[in-house]
Structure 1
């Protein structure tokens, strides 16, 4: 009867252990979870209106170069929550406020990188992502006529390197979305105070 020698048994054991190690190394990193972006940290803005509505007028193309539909926290839906996080209706029933989301885009642009042998040994910035957020807050009377308006449009960009991983790319999108919407929050709040002062309560 054939009996494996001790050295051959150890070899098989080592190969099995190596296979397990390689399999563990090949397992992709779990996808990170991202928190919702909120605007609850700022002071509530009381408006002389009986109701507050949100209308998202932006239609995502759902294809590149637009990538906002791929971002872990959607910028358009996050902009919609600005009204509930920051505004309160505390006035006349004859007026209403309408927040209109005009644009909530993130656009990818391919950057020129070094090719050939030299490019093999370099790690350059390969894509630029530009986020644009635009919103308008209107005050309408009981006939639907606009009697006040404040608007804001902000834009930010960041680049990513050639060797970026999928997880790191999604993290870059998330951070770009967050910084852009923080800018929108600050700008729109300032413009509300400037242009809608007579409706503040």
Structure 2
């Protein structure tokens, strides 16, 4: 029978530890694509370039911005890239995301023995996004403006895994961004129609 030396035993234990660590870290990480509006008909303005401004406050109480693998604000900033086209005049457009928040509020759950057998809704997620589109002349004087806001809330059960929780929040994020798109388009047609190329 072959007896391992102390060094041989250490090498074997180290090999087992490396294998265990590799197994622990091999869980696939979810990939959440940016929400896009490329499938929709572009809105064509008789204007020049589009300036984009990130004007939302990222330090909202209860903000989840740093704990999620996607950003509501950054995705909202992509909206004019997909939806706006310009026909080229001396006028310009300025698109600002003025609010982009995902916040979490704890809900009361059942305690004690009964709580062990109850799957409560333990968290309420609130999403809010707002944007402003301005049309300016060559001197920076505003000729027109629209503002739009969309909000949703969604409760999460205490039995959800981290992956299930993130997926539920991502789905609500995509929905609220589509709500914002519909409201922006409605406002543009109602209030900036004279600047559109039909």
TM-score (norm 1): 0.82
The Cα of 1:129 is off from its aligned counterpart by 0.4
Say which SS state the counterpart of residue 78 (structure 2) adopts: helix
In the alignment, the residues of structure 2 paired with residue 34 and residue 149 of structure 1 have an alpha-carbon distance, to the nearest angstrom, of 32
**Aligned CA distance change for structure 1 residues 25 and 144 (closer, same or farther; 3 Å):** closer
Taking the TM superposition and a 5 Å limit, the aligned residue runs for 1:131-142 are 131-142=127-138
Corresponding position of 1:12: none
Taking the TM superposition and a 5 Å limit, the aligned residue runs for 1:24-39 are 29-39=27-37
Is residue 146 from structure 1 mapped to residue 142 from structure 2 by the alignment? yes
Corresponding position of 1:46: 44
Corresponding position of 2:112: 116
In the alignment, the residues of structure 2 paired with residue 50 and residue 164 of structure 1 have an alpha-carbon distance, to the nearest angstrom, of 48
In the alignment, the residues of structure 1 paired with residue 119 and residue 24 of structure 2 have an alpha-carbon distance, to the nearest angstrom, of 23
Taking the TM superposition and a 5 Å limit, the aligned residue runs for 1:185-196 are 185-196=181-192
Corresponding position of 2:196: 200
**Aligned CA distance change for structure 1 residues 177 and 96 (closer, same or farther; 3 Å):** same
In the alignment, the residues of structure 1 paired with residue 158 and residue 134 of structure 2 have an alpha-carbon distance, to the nearest angstrom, of 43
The answer to whether the 8 A contact 1:72-1:174 is kept is no
RMSD: 2.1
Structure 2: any 5+ residue segments left out of the alignment?
2-19
The Cα of 1:65 is off from its aligned counterpart by 1.1
- Bigger-Rg structure (1/2): 1
Q: Which residue among 52, 72, 77 is the counterpart of 1:75?
A: 72
**1:53-90 residue CA offsets vs partner (Å, 9 max, x unmatched):** 110101312x8611133333211111111011100111
Corresponding position of 1:100: 96
Corresponding position of 1:91: 88
**1:112-153 residue CA offsets vs partner (Å, 9 max, x unmatched):** 111112111101000010100100000011221211011110
TM-score (norm 2): 0.83
